[in-house]
Amino acid sequence: MIAAMHKRTKIGCEKLIQEAINNCPVPTIQNYIRRNYMRNTQQWALWARQHFPLLLQVTSTNPLESYHSELKRKTSSLHGLIGAVHNIVAIDCKKQSNSKSAAFDFHVKKVSAYGVEKDIIEEIHKFPLPFQHLLIKEACAIMDRLEKGKGALGLTSLDCHCLFHNRYLLPCKYIFHEHMYGDVKLLTTDV
């Protein structure tokens, strides 16, 4: 059942649960597995809990806390009702401007990196800024692998089972390594 919990596809998860049911000699345990595991895999299995890779949502509440602390600092009972409203509107305008600037940077800013091929950088620039940072970090990790004397893994396809690739479904350092220094160019339209 632990293996079923870590399956990344619904079909694979259900197959492992069915194997557990078929291999169990006790009918009451078979019914228990059917009732408590087979019917509600979406509540506990990895295939359902794995997030969409392109949603890098901010889980921090710092912007909200910053807004509230600024409200507390700028408004006081000395200003009166109209003065407090003016301060709140000014803070709202400032925060709105900051969020528009962050959204602009998210879509428009481009990162640069030394030692990464030009065609790979051009493809990385098609992603939003947070993903560009992630991909550049993975592409630059190849230099660490080379310094340690590690060679390309000999990948023949874009299937890699490292944590980064499983989490984001994007090329990882092993795929970049194979593409840049291995025998197979994996990051092409032909693959």
With tokens 């197979």, the residue in question is: 184
Radius of gyration of the chain (CA): 25
On whether the pTM is more than 0.75, the answer is no
Q: How many residues does the chain have?
A: 191
pLDDT at 150: 85
Q: Are 117 and 139 in contact (CB under 8 A)?
A: no
Residue 93 has a pLDDT of: 93
Confidence (pLDDT) at 97: 92
Say if residues 56 and 130 touch (Cβ distance below 8 Å). Answer: yes
- Domain ranges for the chain, please list them: 2-49, 62-108, 118-181
**CA-to-CA distance for 57 and 23, rounded, in angstroms?**
42
pLDDT at 48: 61
Q: Please tell me the predicted confidence (pLDDT) of residue 186.
A: 76
Res 142: pLDDT = 83
Q: How far is CA 129 from CA 7, 132, 135, 173, in A?
A: 30, 5, 10, 18
In this prediction, residue 25 carries a pLDDT of 92
- Name residues of the chain where pLDDT drops below 70: 46-60, 77, 189-191
CA–CA gap between residue 74 and residue 88 (Å, rounded): 8
